[in-house]
Amino acid sequence: AQSVAQPEDQVNVAEGNPLTVKCTYSVSGNPYLFWYVQYPNRGLQFLLKYITGDNLVKGSYGFEAEFNKSQTSFHLKKPSALVSDSALYFCAVRDMNSGYSTLTFGKGTMLLVSP
Amino acid sequence: GAVVSQHPSRVICKSGTSVKIECRSLDFQATTMFWYRQFPKQSLMLMATSNEGSKATYEQGVEKDKFLINHASLTLSTLTVTSAHPEDSSFYICSAHTGELAGENNEQFFGPGTRLTVL
């Protein structure tokens, strides 16, 4: 079975400050890891993914995430937050070694960036 | 990038009626589409996997007779909520897959969602 944990319901940060949204995962094989963002009453927008290769993955809107195999983490980061980054962020995992399997999502973390 | 659309974006209906939600992949063919349900401030819960030309696979606890899924073509899947009740009010999101499901280039693209309110 695969699972994702996002330990924070909400993250508050001031505009211009760096932000981190935490994610840890559990899979039996090797993971595909994803971050999505959701704005109110909208579907999910893809931010970035880790499949293989460099542990630091760069994505859309200046976001990046670092894959840490030993800590089974895939935290989302941005050096300087914008008010427009305020949204709901989901981490997701898929076990690449299990053949066909669906994405499992974390419960989401609300990011609030204050002016 | 690949675009997935949903129609309608918002629907309000009376209790006991049926509602159909369409999910289309606009610029690619999707052999597999997924239907999710999302409650306020909660994560996406997979309801079913829809494969073109075959019956959908439902997750445990999802009533297949209540949530009818049809995937008649490679670009269209529909979800029909039959005899809707207020507890069915939710945000329904579909997604479509490109590439081989178990492959490295597997991508999942999400529709914008449909807000269903049952009075």
The percentage of chain B sitting over the pLDDT mark of 90, rounded to a whole number, equals 60
Q: Which residues on chain B place their C-beta less than 8 Å from a C-beta of chain A?
A: 1, 4, 6, 34, 41-44, 46, 49, 91, 93, 95, 101-102, 104, 106, 108-113, 115
**Digit-coded pLDDT (tens) for B12-43:** 999 999 999 999 999 888 888 999 999 887 88
* Cα separations in angstroms, B89 against A27, A56, B11, B112, B115: 32, 40, 10, 17, 8
Structure tokens at B79: 């979800």
Question: A96: phi > 0 → left, psi -120 to 50 → alpha, else beta; which?
Answer: alpha
Contact A42 B108 (CB under 8 A): no
What value does the CA radius of gyration of chain A take, rounded to a whole number of Å? Answer: 14
Structure tokens at A85: 């980054």
Quote the CA–CA distance of A20 and B85 in Å, as a whole number.
Answer: 40
Residue type, A14: A
pLDDT of residue B102: 47
Angle A30-A43-A35 (CA atoms, 0-180°, nearest 5)?
A: 30
Nearest CA in chain B to A44: B110
Residue A108: CB atoms within 10 A of its CB come to 23
Query: Which residues of chain A carry a pLDDT beneath 50?
Result: none
Structure tokens at B89: 């009010």
Q: Are A92 and A48 in contact (CB under 8 A)?
A: no
**Digit-coded pLDDT (tens) for B93-116:** 999 887 654 455 566 889 999 999
